[in-house]
């Protein structure tokens, strides 16, 4: 499958409702979207909205969060394209290692080079985020990727 070409840009304030709705309808945390709007990015192909994702920077570490593709676009490579763009943005902003929590997509992220790690092995500045401390269940799988690889 060819990875589609999408444009990924920072979310605009007018898109926050749509982001919250997409997260909620997919069982992902949305409670802190308005507190951290600059962390969220929108993926589009031409003018069409295809998905969202977030990168929350914490020095050389980052939290990849809330990657979701809108229902009509699933299974077409948009998740891969969105993750590629988010990882590139993280890398160019000085993030060396990305961490994430997932309850449903561990296999997808493992195929992308993420490794499963213990939650306790995550740096404190990432563990103290709202996502780690409050929003994601303790049963979520924790993964890490070195962006230098």
Domains, the chain, with CATH or none: 7-146 (3.40.630.30)
β pairing state of 7-10 and 40-45: antiparallel
**What residues does 97 pair with on adjacent strands?**
61, 146
**pLDDT, tens digit (0-9, with 9 covering 90-100), for 8-38:** 999 999 999 999 999 999 988 888 899 989 9
Per-residue pLDDT, 108: 96
Q: What pLDDT was estimated at residue 149?
A: 56
Segment 121-126 long-range contacts (CB within 8 Å, at least 24 positions apart): 123/58, 123/61, 123/99, 125/58, 125/59, 125/61, 126/58, 126/61, 126/62, 126/63, 126/99
Distance between CA 51 and CA 75 in Å, rounded? 12
Q: What angle do CA 89, 60, 36 make, to 5 degrees?
A: 60
H helices present in the chain, as ranges: 16-25, 78-92, 106-111, 124-127, 130
User: Which of 70, 61, 92, 93 lies closest to 6 in space, CA to CA?
Assistant: 70
Residue 33, pLDDT score: 92
Query: Which residue has 């790690």 as its token pair?
Result: 117
Residue 71 bridge partners (DSSP): none
Strand ranges of the sheet holding 115-116, from the earlier edge strand across to the other edge: 7-10, 40-45, 48-58, 61-69, 97-102, 141-146, 115-116
Tens-binned pLDDT, residue by residue, of the chain (149 aa): 677 889 999 999 999 999 999 999 998 888 889 998 999 999 999 889 999 999 999 999 999 998 999 999 999 999 999 999 999 999 999 999 999 999 889 999 999 999 999 999 999 999 998 888 777 878 899 999 999 85
Contact 8, 86 (CB under 8 A): yes
> Residue 110: CB partners within 8 Å, gap ≥ 6?
116, 143
Give me the pLDDT at residue 4, please.
81
């Amino acid at each position: 499958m060819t990875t589609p070409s999408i444009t990924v840009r920072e979310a605009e304030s007018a898109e926050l409702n749509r982001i919250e709705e997409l997260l909620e309808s997919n069982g992902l945390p949305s409670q802190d979207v308005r507190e951290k709007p600059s962390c969220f990015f929108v993926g589009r192909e031409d003018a069409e909205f295809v998905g969202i994702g977030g990168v929350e920077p914490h020095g050389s570490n980052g939290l990849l969060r809330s990657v979701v593709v809108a229902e009509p676009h699933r299974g077409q490579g948009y998740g891969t394209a969105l993750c590629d763009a988010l990882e590139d943005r993280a890398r160019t902003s000085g993030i060396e290692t990305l961490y994430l929590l997932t309850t449903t997509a561990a296999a997808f992220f493992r195929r992308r080079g993420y490794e499963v790690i213990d939650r306790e092995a995550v740096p404190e500045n990432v563990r103290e985020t709202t996502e780690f401390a409050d929003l994601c269940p303790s049963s979520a799988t924790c993964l890490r990727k070195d962006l230098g690889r």
